[in-house]
């Protein structure tokens, strides 16, 4: 039996897919997960066993660079020791700076390395590790910043989702509903912009439309203020934190307002939930914009530039979405088209095939 190590950490966008890989591989292989401290909060410790090896961000605080370089080299030796101790045959990296020491250790020990890139832009860590990787598993055929000479390493699969997502009821062609249910989710890195501006947007919309809102709150200090605004506007609401158990929040959602994280967009798309995407402007290489643009070009969503955000303009747009069922239902039909081949068994067979043939 092959021993597989899944290396992850950092944001939920890296960690959520790692647990999905685990579910796909656990019945055929011996699988372990390693995460850094930041990423561990997205792993259900009751469901998944994982090791904790923290890796410093070399350039986060320049005055700590000498110390962090020393720690980074120490991480490489720790990674080599871990791989030897666990007799690891294959390392799967879900990207991010914290995975690089393990990728380098696997290369030194001549182990197979599989990279995972869920975004439409190649991540920087994956760009470095691509040179000595075996394969890179992707969701997009045309990935920005991808070196053409390594195209032979690319394996394109349908979005890899949590198993629980496949058990949820998909959104159907909509009929008029008196109360619209809206999901507001800023992703694992939070969105203080959403706390302020999207809350105000909901208040404005509620003057003409009854709303039921599920909203991720970025800063708990804003909780009381948002609650008061919704109470005064007679808006039904539920506040949530970002979690790997996102399958619990999708039931009955009519429209989502979100960032451009690959995992969230994949889940919304699979469940046929039309969404308004407002990508994080500071995202590295603008990957959230390009993730969203993929769906926008297929007429599956609405795409908004945060720098041009205006409450009155967006409130009119969302009112139009709710009133123009032809446009809304067209989005649902287009989502159905691009996700119809995505089944748990199809993805499971594909991933095992990729691992076994190398």
pLDDT in tens, 259-274: 999 999 999 999 999 9
Q: Give first-to-last CA distance, the chain, whole Å.
A: 14
Range of the domain at 131: 3-161+343-356
CATH code assigned at 309: 3.40.50.2000
Q: Do 319 and 183 fall into the same domain?
A: yes
Q: Do 82 and 173 fall into the same domain?
A: no
Q: Do 115 and 214 fall into the same domain?
A: no
How many separate domains does the chain show?
Answer: 2
Q: Do 91 and 207 fall into the same domain?
A: no
Count how many Cα atoms sit within 13 Å of the Cα of residue 295 in the half-sphere of its side chain: 38
Q: Do 57 and 11 fall into the same domain?
A: yes
Q: Do 71 and 128 fall into the same domain?
A: yes
pLDDT at residue number 39: 86
Q: Do 150 and 45 fall into the same domain?
A: yes
The reported pTM is 0.91
Q: Do 72 and 186 fall into the same domain?
A: no
pLDDT at residue number 189: 60
pLDDT at residue number 190: 56
Q: Do 318 and 351 fall into the same domain?
A: no
- Kindly state the tokens that stand for 65: 């660079």
Q: In sequence order, what E strands does the chain have?
A: 3-7, 30-35, 50-52, 90-93, 112-117, 135-138, 154-156, 179-185, 210-216, 236-240, 255-258, 275-277, 301-303
Q: Do 301 and 191 fall into the same domain?
A: yes
pLDDT at residue number 60: 64
Q: Do 240 and 112 fall into the same domain?
A: no
Q: What is the pLDDT along the chain (358 residues), one digit of tens a residue?
A: 899 999 998 888 889 899 999 999 999 999 999 998 888 888 888 888 898 887 766 656 676 667 777 787 888 899 999 999 999 999 999 988 889 899 999 999 999 999 999 999 999 889 999 999 999 999 999 999 999 999 999 999 999 999 999 999 888 766 678 889 999 998 766 578 899 999 999 999 999 999 999 999 888 888 899 999 999 999 999 998 876 566 678 988 999 999 999 999 999 999 999 999 999 887 778 899 999 999 999 999 999 999 999 999 999 999 999 888 889 999 999 999 999 999 999 999 999 999 987 6
């Amino acid at each position: 039996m092959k021993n597989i190590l899944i290396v992850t950490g950092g944001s939920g966008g890296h960690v959520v897919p790692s647990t999905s890989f685990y579910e796909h591989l656990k019945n055929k292989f011996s699988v372990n997960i390693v995460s850094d401290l930041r990423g561990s909060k997205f792993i259900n410790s009751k469901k998944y066993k994982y090791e904790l090896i923290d890796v410093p961000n070399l350039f986060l605080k320049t005055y700590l660079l000498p110390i962090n370089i020393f720690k980074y080299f120490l991480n490489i030796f720790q990674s080599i020791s871990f791989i030897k101790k666990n007799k690891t045959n294959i390392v799967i990296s879900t990207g991010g700076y914290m995975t690089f020491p393990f990728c380098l250790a696997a290369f030194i020990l001549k182990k197979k390395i599989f990279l995972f890139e869920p975004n439409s832009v190649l991540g920087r860590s994956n760009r470095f590790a691509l040179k000595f990787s075996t394969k890179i598993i992707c969701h997009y055929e045309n990935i920005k910043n991808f070196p053409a000479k390594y195209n032979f390493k690319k394996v394109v699969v349908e979005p890899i989702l949590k198993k629980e997502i496949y058990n949820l009821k998909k959104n159907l062609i909509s009929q008029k509903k008196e109360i619209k249910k809206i999901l507001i989710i800023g992703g694992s890195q939070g969105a203080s912009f959403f706390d302020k501006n999207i809350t105000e947007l909901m208040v404005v919309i509620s003057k003409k439309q009854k709303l039921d809102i599920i909203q991720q709150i970025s800063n708990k200090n804003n909780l009381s203020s948002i609650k008061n605004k919704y109470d005064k506007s007679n808006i039904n609401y539920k506040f949530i934190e970002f979690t790997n158990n996102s399958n619990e929040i999708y039931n009955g959602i009519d429209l989502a307002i979100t960032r451009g994280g690959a995992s969230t967009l994949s889940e919304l798309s699979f469940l046929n939930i039309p969404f308004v995407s407002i990508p994080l402007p500071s995202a590295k290489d603008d990957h959230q914009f390009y993730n969203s643009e993929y769906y926008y070009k297929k007429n599956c969503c609405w795409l908004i530039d945060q720098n041009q955000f205006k409450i009155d303009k967006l409130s009119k747009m969302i009112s139009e979405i709710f009133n123009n069922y032809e446009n809304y239902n067209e989005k649902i039909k287009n989502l159905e088209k691009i996700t119809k081949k995505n089944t748990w068994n199809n993805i499971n067979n594909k991933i095992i095939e990729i691992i076994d043939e190398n």
